[in-house]
Amino acid sequence: MAIQTIKVPDIGGAEGVDVIEISVKVGDVIAEGDSIVVLETDKASMEIPADKAGKVVAIKVKEGDKVSQDDVLVEVEAEGAAKAAPAPAAQAPAAAPAPAAAPAATSEITITVPDIGGAEDVDVIEVTVKPGDEVAEGDSLIVLETDKASMEVPATASGKIVSVSVKVGDKVSQGSVICVMATSGGAAEAAPAPAQAAAPAPAASAGSAELTITVPDIGGAEDVDVIEVSVKAGDEVAEGDSLIVLETDKASMEVPATASGKIVSVAVNVGDKVSQGSVIGVMTTSGGAAAAPAAAPAKAEAPAAPKAETARPAPSAPAKVEEVVQTGDVYAGPAVRKLARQLGVDLGKVSGTGPRGRLLKDDVRNYVKNIVASAQSGAPVGGGSGIPRVPAVDFSKFGEIEMVKMSKIKKLTAENMTRNWLNVPHVTQWDDVDITEMEAFRTGLKAEAEKRGSKLTPLPFLLKACAAALRAEPSFNVSMHHDGEHIVQKHYVHIGIAVDTPIGLLVPVVRNVDKKGLWELADEVNALAKKAREGKLTPAEMQGGCFTISSLGAMGGSGFTPMVNAPEVAILGVSRAQIKPVWNGKEFVPRNMLPISLSYDHRAVNGADAGRFFTFLTSVIADVRRLVL
Ligand code: CAO
């Protein structure tokens, strides 16, 4: 039983290509043609099929490795007589043109801007190499941008950059010198000038103003899925702009325009199946020299074996500008688009972090991760309910920052607030209540309070007043039942008190407020607040509230919108009391006025109920004697 190796076939000269997937494992019995690994350049992803059948005994690469032609991928124990002859299945694209320019003996070559569809004075928006850099053939040297597309200009040979003649902001045209490089081989001169030479002789009339665009040679693949139509009637396209994106089960490929012009009509839709010669659409050429697409290998240049299909230009072909597809607002390459389709991601919703906002695979993965994380946390701090997330910002760009870990309580509060804000249709109403009499009564009790060891603030009075209002207007003492069919009417009166603690906001609940006196309530509030600040509250002490009071009175402020603490349906916000001039019918008199705000869930409580509740509440606060009625 012979052990045989399966190696990386000719992948169009691409070097150091990422292994993004291993499709087999040791012990697998594979047939010839089975996919064993998936490789990815920045332009295309490709499956490498087994050229031998047998049992996998060793895998020589792992995901993340970089491989080139002839690197060993796996070892197989051949079944019976080894079909060892390397099948040409993944051999070089047959369409690879023979060297257009005679190999030069010189070891230094000047790389110039190739044919960029006649565009002139095109902006250099990125220079991706510098002197001393080793580049592989096909590596991007510079990125150009017209108002229609951005395009990378790839190296036409492998070697070392000697000098770079352009910088970001320069404007270049065909023939402008980009750089000089020393070729590693010595036989890799590739004159960019004859880019047009790579274009087939126009099959359609060269001077014709209308051109029927058809699917070029796609390596013999038939009935290939159209997964994207990047143009529509009326669009202006430049030569090389992607028209449609095709996908076999092995690779995705763009079909570029073979001339610049205006799309007259588009004959294909996403989901159609096409083969070589299928009509894509009709365009009027802007120049008049329409190149027939039939023989245009361009980016859809198909390998003899489409299994190792790549969008790179064939080695030693004249330099060909490669573009990442930009359709609508989406700027992404085929591999990224494929991943997005596999994951069901709408690329329009993903932010690109690549150069000039280009979408990367990691952007798609992170988008999915965020959605999963949000779903698992139950209530997203950002996003969810179809609400766009607040974009991530690198604040360190603006000054010194520090990352402070959120406490568990803070995270829970954030989740609760988001949930309440999203679920509860809030209405808030405000009033200033005259607490002059209440304060007189309270201060009159100070000595007694001290004797008892109690601290009597306005809060126990407000608790009593709210309990009385909840009894008087039971429509506030409810919760929405989760079945959406019922309201839960409560016959007890438990009120939560928002307490500010070093670890965050906690809301202990005072039970049966309606049945307790002021001293008992004062002592209980103080005990619960102390426990909260010491982190000693039990979960039971924070459950079962019917209503909440949030008092910022000791801190200041003339009013705020408290947020309903669902499943409760209302909350009272208390701000700082102040002496204000109040008109008594004859004159202005100084009165102690307490600003209060009542927020309620408008699903459970209607405005008239709220009006009654609020009026009752303010009347008992203004005259606490009414509490005993
Ligand atoms: N106007 C003027 N003075 C007020 C007042 C008001 N509305 N409310 C309280 N005061 C006074 C008190 O009378 C006390 O003064 P004296 O000692 O002279 O009597 C002083 O302010 C301090 O009161 P306190 O804060 O100790 O006691 P409290 O009963 O008013 O409040 C508690 C207790 C636990 C509610 C409060 O300490 C607290 O934590 N509040 C924060 C609540 C919060 O964070 N809410 C926001 C939640 S949502 O974002």
Lowest mean pLDDT among 48-62, 201-215, 453-467, 554-568: 201-215
Report the mean per-residue pLDDT for the chain.
80
Atom 5 of ligand 1 has which residue's CA nearest to it? Answer: 553
* Residue that wins the pLDDT comparison between 380 and 492: 492
Q: Is there a catalytic annotation at residue 482? A: no
Residues contacting ligand 1 via CB (< 6 Å): 457-459, 497-500, 505, 529, 550-554, 574, 576-577, 594
Say what the pLDDT of residue 24 is. 87
Ligand 1 center to residue 286 CA distance, Å?
76
- What pTM was estimated for this model as a whole? 0.49
User: Which ligand 1 atom is at minimum distance from the Cα of 551?
Assistant: 42
From CA 427, how far away is CA 441, in angstroms rounded?
32
* Residue that wins the pLDDT comparison between 281 and 147: 281
Mutating to test ligand 1, I would choose from 410, 442, 443, 459 the residue with most ligand atoms within 8 A of its C-beta, which is 459
From CA 320, how far away is CA 325, in angstroms rounded?
15
Catalytic residue among 481, 482, 486, 602: 602
Ligand 1 center to residue 551 CA distance, Å?
6
- For the segment 111-117, the average pLDDT, to the nearest whole number, is 82
* Residue that wins the pLDDT comparison between 260 and 515: 515
Ligand 1 center to residue 575 CA distance, Å?
9
Say what the pLDDT of residue 32 is. 84
- For the segment 146-175, the average pLDDT, to the nearest whole number, is 83
Atom 37 of ligand 1 has which residue's CA nearest to it? Answer: 499
- For the segment 71-80, the average pLDDT, to the nearest whole number, is 82
Atom 10 of ligand 1 has which residue's CA nearest to it? Answer: 554
Say what the pLDDT of residue 250 is. 61
Tokens of 241: 């702009």
* Residue that wins the pLDDT comparison between 116 and 324: 116
Lowest mean pLDDT among 165-169, 240-244, 330-334: 330-334
Closest CA to 112 of 183, 174, 187: 174
Ligand 1 center to residue 412 CA distance, Å?
23
Atom 27 of ligand 1 has which residue's CA nearest to it? Answer: 457
Atom 18 of ligand 1 has which residue's CA nearest to it? Answer: 457
Vertex 607: Cα angle to 604 and 612 (nearest 5): 100
Rg value, the chain, Cα: 37
At residue 298, does pLDDT exceed 50? no
- For the segment 257-266, the average pLDDT, to the nearest whole number, is 87
Amino acid code (one letter) for 592: N
Highest average pLDDT, of 131-140, 327-336, 545-554, comes from: 545-554
Atom 6 of ligand 1 has which residue's CA nearest to it? Answer: 553
Highest average pLDDT, of 283-287, 429-433, 500-504, comes from: 429-433
Residue located via tokens 């099948």: 87
Residue located via tokens 């295309």: 44
User: Which ligand 1 atom is at minimum distance from the Cα of 459?
Assistant: 29
Confidence of residue 43 (pLDDT cuts 50, 70, 90): low
User: Which ligand 1 atom is at minimum distance from the Cα of 460?
Assistant: 29
Ligand 1 center to residue 574 CA distance, Å?
9
Atom 13 of ligand 1 has which residue's CA nearest to it? Answer: 457
Residue located via tokens 């607030």: 417
Atom 12 of ligand 1 has which residue's CA nearest to it? Answer: 457
Highest average pLDDT, of 62-76, 237-251, 340-354, comes from: 62-76
Ligand 1 center to residue 576 CA distance, Å?
9
User: Which ligand 1 atom is at minimum distance from the Cα of 577?
Assistant: 1
Ligand 1 center to residue 261 CA distance, Å?
73
What region, left, alpha or beta, does residue 603 occupy, with left being phi > 0 and alpha being psi -120 to 50 degrees? Answer: alpha
- Residue 567, preceding peptide bond in cis (omega within 30° of 0): yes
Neighbouring residues of 275: CB distance < 8 A, sequence distance ≥ 6 = 215, 218, 221, 222, 223, 224
The strand pairing partners of 376, in sequence order, are none
DSSP 239-281: TT-EEEEEE-SS-EEEEE-SS-EEEEEE---TT-EE-TT-EEE
What share of the chain has pLDDT > 70, as a percent? 79
* SS3 call for 229: strand
Confidence of residue 478 (pLDDT cuts 50, 70, 90): very high
For residue 388, with 0-12 CB atoms within 10 Å meaning exposed, 13-18 middle and 19 or more buried, which class applies? exposed
* Residue 303 · residue 92 · CB < 8 Å: yes
Atom 25 of ligand 1 has which residue's CA nearest to it? Answer: 554
Q: What is the pLDDT of residues 189-240, one digit of tens each?
A: 333 433 332 333 333 333 446 888 888 887 777 888 888 888 888 888 888 7
Confidence of residue 366 (pLDDT cuts 50, 70, 90): confident
Ligand 1 center to residue 187 CA distance, Å?
84
Phi, psi of 226 (to 5 degrees): -85, 115
Ligand 1 center to residue 548 CA distance, Å?
14
Closest CA to 187 of 316, 312, 93: 316
Q: What is the pLDDT of residues 503-513, one digit of tens each?
A: 899 999 999 99
- For the segment 357-386, the average pLDDT, to the nearest whole number, is 71
Say what the pLDDT of residue 288 is. 43
Q: What is the pLDDT of residues 390-421, one digit of tens each?
A: 888 899 999 999 999 888 889 999 999 999 99
At residue 317, does pLDDT exceed 50? no
Say what the pLDDT of residue 149 is. 64
User: Which ligand 1 atom is at minimum distance from the Cα of 554?
Assistant: 21
